[in-house]
Amino acid sequence: MSPTATASRPAKKPAAPPASVPGYAGKLLRVNLSTGKIWTQPWTGDMREYLGGVGLGAKILYEEVGPKVHWDHPDNRLILATGPLAGLPVWGTGGLTVVTRGAQTDGATSTQANGFFGAALKYSGYDAIVVQGQAKKLSYLYINDDVVEIRDAAHLKGKDTWETQEALEAEHALSGHRMSVYSIGPAGENLVRFAAIQGDYGHVASKNGCGAVMGKKKLKAVCIVRGTKALSPHDPRGLVQAADDIAHDLKTDPATSTLYRWGTLPGVSNLYKLGVLPIKNYTTNLTAVDMTTWEPAKLRAGFDHRGHQCNACGMHHCHIQVIGKGPKAGELVDEPEYEGWSGAGWQIGLTDKESITWLNTRLDRACLDVNEFGWVCGWVMECMEKGYLTEKQVGFTLAWGDVDGAYRLIRMISHREGFGDLLAEGVKRASEKIGGEAAKCAVYTKKGASPRGHDHRGRWEEMLDTCTSSNGTMESANATHQTEIGLPGRINPFNGEEVARMVGGILGRKHFEDSLGGCIFTFRTRIEHLARALSAATGWTYTLADAMRLGRRTAAIFRAFNLRCGIGTDVEYPSPRYGSKPVDGPAKDHNVMDQWERMREVWYETVGYDIKTGKPTRETLKTLGLDRLAKDLWRK
Amino acid sequence: MEVTTWVTKHVGGDGSGSKVFTEAFAPGETVRDVLRRCSARFPELDAALWSPDRAELGEHIEVVVNDAVLGVTHGLDSPLKNGDRITLLGQFMGG
């Protein structure tokens, strides 16, 4: 049966939810760490509209986390969700989406990682894990099909994330892909506000301090034995056809063929040419380094490497490599993503490739977000160079490109030692506390979310997205095949109105992708292909228009959640340095703040939100089928 | 004129690194004129560089003039002067 012949869309109010839906496990795993209670909740009723992943997570967050339940409150939820394509034969479908109230913005968070977690979870019989409460002592969650236990993790205390996974693999005599482990390192245990959750050696759900939430719950790790329960798509042949089309698209489309071949490595040399590679904390966009040595083939060939693919993935993206020379020679490390090369490298003035790849893995092992660490470390380096911070304050001298000093900072932050205790709050809070000239050097959003690892002064769409988003990071993300939804293939990157129309116009696409249980990179295909795969998996027919509408629903729910938490329009601005004018390079003299208010106006108009209150309008909510939210937001 | 990354495949390269050409042009000729002449020599580049109706640039190749993207110091119809550098940069995703 072809995808177009699948069951028609059900009536608005079906008489009763189906007993089971193909592609789904049909159960949520609930864990209360305060009481030790573990139970399952059937989930068959509303997945047609919430899909899974971030869509499901946003719903649970909105319904179960009230405004007084801050990120560190035991009643905060940590939702580890996957989606209907996870575990099915579509590339990169081991996806995990973490949804919670995060530590940096104290607002909604969605952040993704890959590996095998999502597939293992589905094969164990669950679509998501919802963790609430707070354990009395450090614990880990063990899942082996129907056996789910909260176990003592005292022996894992202080271990980094790779050590934790190794210890659990040894304990259970399972290695390779037979068990997926996502854990926190010392930074999470010590509630560093930009602590991440790391898993399967190199995959990181990094945004908005989700690792601090896990640390506050005293949950060291979640380990899932690859389950034994079968998944049955509604239309296996249609699913394989869609999966083949996705793979073909990734291999051959001009926009994605480099991603297929090199992952995100091309970012360094390409973004440099556009003035988008952050260098030394936004103080310059130029370097004397020979950038031809940073082309992807040379970056990869510089290390002894092998593929480290995620579940069902055929991309040449993730790699594990060995450092071949220098003081760290012989160490096994994860090949950095573009953001590793930027955050653990260029942003802090470090251009030695062996040092960067080592530092990047140290960050993963400590469970620190590489982006925020880059902004913190680069800020300290610049402030020390300019005399705004002293050796006495910091505890030692930290200069640009000092890899050993940067690692010392990682340890100080992860253990909240000395000046590291302040830095563990993130660069926004740390710079506000120090004040004076130092405060003017910090790169952050007023909302508290970390900018990604780019110089957004040359990429205004990402700055606008980071500042207006409601999920603790970029919410629209990069335009992908945007002509598919009627948007122009090319815009002037320094025309604020064009930028805002693009950012607002693509809102929803990424939330749709992140609801399916796959990878942001393998899902850089046409929405039409993803919708076909989803239709074949579930038996419901999804169109491109459905995909955008469902993604926008999730965005509106996050927006409503944040407004309820008191996060309003007054914080939709970059810090002075983040929104400054580049002094050199390809974006020299282009001042985003000259057009900022107009950009916001156009963005609000495009997404259908009210600029004064920040609320999605009644009409928007009605179109999205969120009448209940309209009652919450617009009641007198 | 520098052609980089995967775009080099369209001008006889292997899809990585860069290839550099020197293009002669007459006074008053524009960025568009030079791009048209160059792409006319390489049919694959021609198909990739321009929109289907060939009126404007397509989606996937960024044109950078003197280290600035189009729209900053130059548009497609801006005249060129001796020594100007045009870079064709392949779109990529990720990061």
Residue of B nearest to A268 (CA): B95
Residue percentage of chain A with pLDDT more than 70? 97
Q: In what helix (H) or strand (E) does residue B69 lie, and over which residues does it extend?
A: strand B68-69
Mean pLDDT, residues A84-111 taken together: 97
Q: Please identify which residue in the block is written with the tokens 């955008």.
A: A548
Residue of A nearest to B6 (CA): A258
CB-based contact, A581 to chain B, within 8 Å = no
Annotate A478-500 with b (16+ C-beta within 10 A) or e (fewer).
bbbbbeebeeebbbebbebbbbb
Burial (0-12, 13-18, 19+ Cβ within 10 Å), B73: middle
pLDDT higher than 70, residue A6 = no
Contact A513, A520 (CB under 8 A): yes
Contact B18, B3 (CB under 8 A): yes
Find the CB nearest A254 among B17, B60, B68. B60
The domain spans of chain A are 21-225, 264-439, 456-634
> pLDDT tens for residues A451-477?
999 999 999 999 999 999 999 999 999
Reported as a pLDDT band with limits 50, 70 and 90, residue A15 is low
Tell me if B87 and A258 make a contact (CB, 8 A cut-off): no
Tell me if A270 and B92 make a contact (CB, 8 A cut-off): yes
CB-based contact, B93 to chain A, within 8 Å = yes
Tell me if A259 and B90 make a contact (CB, 8 A cut-off): no
Annotate A426-442 with b (16+ C-beta within 10 A) or e (fewer).
bbbbbbeebeeebbebb
CB-based contact, B57 to chain A, within 8 Å = yes
Residues of A in contact with B58 (CB under 8 A): 489-490
Given this model, what pLDDT does residue A477 score?
92
Contact A414, A366 (CB under 8 A): yes
Q: Radius of gyration over alpha carbons of chain A, in Å?
A: 23
**According to the per-residue pLDDT averaged within each range, which of A43-47, A194-198, B83-87 is highest?**
A194-198
Tell me if A258 and B6 make a contact (CB, 8 A cut-off): yes
Reported as a pLDDT band with limits 50, 70 and 90, residue B52 is confident
Interface test with chain B among A270, A272, A460, A523, by most B beta carbons within 10 Å: A270
What is the rounded distance in angstroms from the CA atom of residue A121 to the CA atom of residue A302?
Answer: 36
Given this model, what pLDDT does residue A1 score?
32
Tell me if B95 and A453 make a contact (CB, 8 A cut-off): yes
Per-position DSSP letters for A278-327, written without gaps between them: -BTTTTBS--SS-GGGGSHHHHHHTSEEEE---TT---S--EEEE--SST
Which residues 473-492 in chain A show a CB within 8 A of chain B?
Answer: 478, 480, 483, 489-490, 492
Given this model, what pLDDT does residue B93 score?
64
> pLDDT tens for residues A70-91?
999 999 999 999 999 999 999 9
Mean pLDDT, residues A534-559 taken together: 98
Looking at the structure of chain B, the number of domains it has is 1
Averaged pLDDT of chain A: 95
Reported as a pLDDT band with limits 50, 70 and 90, residue A14 is low
Residues of B in contact with A483 (CB under 8 A): 59
Given this model, what pLDDT does residue B81 score?
94
Averaged pLDDT of chain B: 89
CB-based contact, B20 to chain A, within 8 Å = no
CB-based contact, B91 to chain A, within 8 Å = yes
Reported as a pLDDT band with limits 50, 70 and 90, residue A2 is very low
Interface test with chain B among A490, A495, A524, by most B beta carbons within 10 Å: A490
What is the rounded distance in angstroms from the CA atom of residue A499 to the CA atom of residue A493?
Answer: 6
This prediction has a pTM of 0.94
Residue of B nearest to A266 (CA): B92
> pLDDT tens for residues A303-345?
999 999 999 999 999 999 999 999 999 999 999 999 999 999 9
Given this model, what pLDDT does residue A5 score?
38
Tell me if A337 and B62 make a contact (CB, 8 A cut-off): no
Of residues A16 and A184, more confidently modeled? A184
DSSP symbol at A63: H
| Distances in whole angstroms, Cα of residue A51 to Cα of each of A8, A38, A46, A460 | 17, 24, 8, 31
Tell me if A258 and B68 make a contact (CB, 8 A cut-off): no
CB-based contact, B68 to chain A, within 8 Å = yes
CB-based contact, B5 to chain A, within 8 Å = yes
Q: Which CATH class is domain A264-439?
A: mainly alpha
CA distance A490 to chain B (A): 6
CA dihedral A291, A297, A301, A302 (to 10 degrees): 10
E strand intervals along A562-619? none
Taking alpha carbons only, the member of A580, A623, A593 closest to residue A284 is: A580
Architecture of domain A21-225: 4-Layer Sandwich (3.60)
Fold of A456-634: 1.10.599
pLDDT higher than 90, residue A175 = no
Domain contains B95: no
CB-based contact, A447 to chain B, within 8 Å = no
Find the range with the poorest average confidence among A77-86, A192-201, A435-444, B49-58.
Answer: B49-58
Tell me if A274 and B64 make a contact (CB, 8 A cut-off): yes
**CATH number of residue B49's parent domain:** 3.10.20.30
Q: Which domain holds residue B46?
A: 2-90
Reported as a pLDDT band with limits 50, 70 and 90, residue A4 is very low
pLDDT higher than 80, residue A19 = no
Name the amino acid, one letter, at A504.
G
Tell me if B92 and A266 make a contact (CB, 8 A cut-off): yes
